[in-house]
Amino acid sequence: MSLLRFTDRIYKEKDYLTRNKAFHLFIFNVASVLLGLFVNSYIWLTKGYFLRPGFSIMMIASLLSLILLVRKKFEIALKIVLVASVVSVSVGWFFGFSKGAVALDEANRNIVLSIFIMIFLYFTNVKQTILIALYCLFLIFVEEFYQEQDNNVIHIADRIALFIMYSIVAIIAVRTLHGSVKEKNELIQEIHHRVRNNLQVLSGLVEMHSGSDKGNLQSILSDFQDRILAISEVHNYLYKSENYFDIDFAEVIDGIIKNLSDKLGKRTVKIENSTEQTYLRIESALPCAMIFSELLSNSLKHAFPGDKGTVNVRFQKEGNKYRLRIADDGSGISDSKIWQKPKTSGFTLIQILTKQIKGSFEIFSSSGSTAILEFNA
């Protein structure tokens, strides 16, 4: 952790990915220097004459890279390591075939190529990694066709096929990880965008309520709270959703029904919800939830003077349209066109939100009232 904080302090002005790669390059360089010293010292002590060129090149390059890293020259430090890795693999590959040298066996050579590819996969991009993979194939061909005495065709085919398969899987795995990082960044941007939009909605609501009758402040605050709760329900189920873009709007409706029933205490009014699982994009879910909250709140507050009755709720997808229907058997509404020239904040909000989702809204009054909202899927 102290080492991580050390590199973070050096690259504190950089973005998270650069700081992370600088830390990992630092770890790689330290390991490369220590391994180079160990391997060369061990062979010198046991053999007395042999120096491993690949480890030596990487050790010197990593030492230089470490110096550049602490001097805030990450790009140059990285290039030195990448170039040195190409040189060390090439020198070590061909030097290992020399007579009298301690040659790498095939298993170790395959490991070398795997490490080689992973270095480029992590620190560069897919295009450069593919070029390195082709170079590795060239090294395998050199070994199999020009350096070996007895060429086993099956063995050569297996080795080449396995190496290609390894390269493909490695690239796919790293691309998947990069894709996850990209998705996370996009989600963060989307969250900021949604927060900004919600704050604008709340600002609009405050402005709308500022023109209301100040004598009934408690009612104004109660309506404002209901609208905030409608927004909250959408984000609550968005948080539980798997993809953060679509939510099951049936759950949102259930949540709003419960909130309003508990708050208004209309236990004698029966609310029948026949909405089945229907997924809705967040862009439409938020205004639709606020419209539903307004309509249900109006029914519970004003449709039943005797506090008894039934409200039927249904949200469904019909073809390429979504349809929200709320019907009650209450006292009805005297002017079914009132929402077109609204005089209350509730109908004003419904009109604004309906236009926002490019939908259509109608109210019918017959044996109660029925409100229908339709908008494109």
**pLDDT at site 315:** 92
DSSP for 109-170 reads HHHHHHHHHHHHHHHS-HHHHHHHHHHHHHHHHIIIIII-SS--HHHHHHHHHHHHHHHHHH
Q: What is the pLDDT of residue 4?
A: 54
- What's residue 210's pLDDT? 65
8-state DSSP, 330: S
* pLDDT at res. 100: 40
The predicted structure's pLDDT at residue 266: 65
Quick one: pLDDT at residue 244? Answer: 63
Instruction: Output the CA angle 181-70-35, nearest 5 degrees.
Output: 85
SS3 31: helix
| φ, ψ for residue 322, nearest 5 deg | -100, 145
Q: What was the pLDDT predicted at 339?
A: 56
According to DSSP, the residues that pair with 316 across neighbouring strands are 323
Q: What's residue 335's pLDDT?
A: 60
Q: CB neighbours of 347 closer than 8 A, spacing ≥ 6? A: 294, 338, 339
pLDDT block averages, 10 residues each, the chain of length 377: 67 80 89 87 74 82 92 92 91 61 63 86 84 88 67 74 84 75 70 68 67 64 73 69 74 85 75 88 84 85 78 90 89 64 71 87 83 88
